[in-house]
């Protein structure tokens, strides 16, 4: 894509360069735009068949943008001149992902950043969901169907019968909360640390309206694998250091489910990704004691004396 193509999209001419971004799992094409005054913006291009979905995503981003935290702010949305794609322009947050920076920071800072992340997520979950965004999905039915896909796959794991039994016996725990907006992919790879140690949120394309506790399975699945201090901080910050037992019991079901289903989910991406998910299975089995424990070991074992609160 050339800069001329972009000008045809928006009719704007203040951008002097465009650079494609190759990172990420999204099907969107992503570009960094540079304006004459040196500021950077993010351009996302999607197939026109996703126009309605992307329009809603842009509306959700606008709702989040009123909450007062650093994030990719909405600038413009529309269709390309040839009507083959739709575009979204957002502000670009300068910095590095927490995925890259957390391991080099002190454990106190990792924990403090987790606190900040948890409080941001709490704000996102606090928005009243407009009627136009409410969805009538049966989350238990969805999770059981996904579990069945794993059960009938060729990538079964040792001792998974106990995990399957645990999920089915406790399936009624999930989906009990009031539905809220979810970021949908809230983990260190989508959190940006700026030079002044501010925390910014990016990539809202997996937003959803569902049980807010579901959002946390990525804490146990991804964040704790990078930094247990950050992961603990996110949970403590979200609940203001008063984490209810119901949360842990519900999260254990979501975590058990994703531990199995992610193996099936990864199959189209190749054996390397399947192997990575199998490795996560063993880690999750360890931290949850074969899902006989409600609270993962990494959370329990972090000494309160080693964290500045």
How much is the pTM? 0.91
Share of the chain above pLDDT 90, in %: 79
Comparing 26 with 19, the larger pLDDT belongs to 19
Over residues 125-151, mean pLDDT? 91
| Mean pLDDT estimate for the chain | 91
By the 10 Å C-beta count (0-12 exposed, 13-18 middle, 19+ buried), 264 is classed as buried
**Would you state the pLDDT for residue 186?**
97
Q: CATH: 2.60.40.10, 3.90.1200.10, 3.30.930.10, 3.40.390.30. Which one for 96-306? A: 3.90.1200.10
Give the SS3 label for residue 159.
coil
In the chain, domain spans: 3-91, 96-306
pLDDT at residue 69 tops 90: yes
pLDDT at residue 227 tops 90: yes
Task: Give the DSSP per-residue string, 222-257.
Answer: IIHHH-HHHHHHHHHHHTTT---HHHHHHHHHHHHH
| 150-206 pLDDT tens trace | 999 999 999 999 999 999 999 999 988 888 999 999 999 999 999 999 999 999 999
Residue 289 is given by DSSP the state T
The number of beta carbons lying within 10 Å of the beta carbon of residue 81 is: 13
Over residues 234-261, mean pLDDT? 97
**Would you state the pLDDT for residue 195?**
96
The number of beta carbons lying within 10 Å of the beta carbon of residue 86 is: 24
Q: Output phi, psi for 202, to 5 deg.
A: -130, 175
Fold of 3-91: Phosphorylase Kinase; domain 1 (3.30.200)
């Amino acid at each position: 894509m050339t800069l001329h193509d972009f000008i045809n999209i928006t009719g704007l001419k203040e951008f002097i360069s465009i650079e494609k971004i190759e990172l990420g799992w999204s099907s969107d094409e992503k570009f960094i735009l540079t304006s004459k005054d040196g500021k950077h913006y993010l351009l996302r291009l999607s197939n026109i068949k996703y126009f309605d979905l992307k329009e809603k995503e842009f509306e959700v981003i606008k709702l989040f943008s009123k909450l007062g935290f650093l994030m990719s702010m909405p600038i413009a949305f529309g269709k390309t001149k040839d009507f083959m794609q739709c575009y979204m322009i957002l502000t670009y947050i300068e910095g590095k992902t927490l995925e890259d920076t957390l391991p080099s920071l002190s454990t106190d800072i990792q924990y403090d950043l987790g606190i900040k992340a948890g409080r941001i997520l709490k704000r996102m979950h606090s928005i009243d969901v407009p009627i136009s965004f409410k969805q009538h999905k049966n989350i238990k039915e969805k999770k059981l169907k996904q579990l069945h896909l794993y059960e009938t796959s060729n990538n079964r794991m040792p001792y998974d019968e106990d995990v399957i039994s645990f999920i089915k016996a406790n399936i009624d725990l999930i989906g009990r909360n009031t539905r809220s907006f979810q970021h949908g992919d809230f983990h260190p790879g989508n959190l940006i640390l700026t030079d002044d140690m501010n925390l910014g949120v990016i990539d809202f394309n997996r937003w959803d309206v569902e049980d807010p506790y579901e959002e946390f399975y990525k804490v146990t699945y991804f964040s704790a694998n990078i930094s247990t201090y950050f992961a603990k901080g996110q949970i403590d910050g979200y609940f203001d250091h008063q984490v209810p037992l119901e949360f842990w019991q519900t999260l254990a079901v979501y975590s058990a489910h994703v531990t199995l289903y992610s193996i099936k989910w990864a199959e189209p991406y190749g054996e390397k990704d399947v192997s990575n998910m199998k490795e996560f299975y063993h880690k999750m089995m360890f931290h949850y004691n074969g899902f006989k424990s409600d609270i993962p070991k990494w959370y329990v074992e972090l000494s309160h004396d080693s964290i500045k609160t």
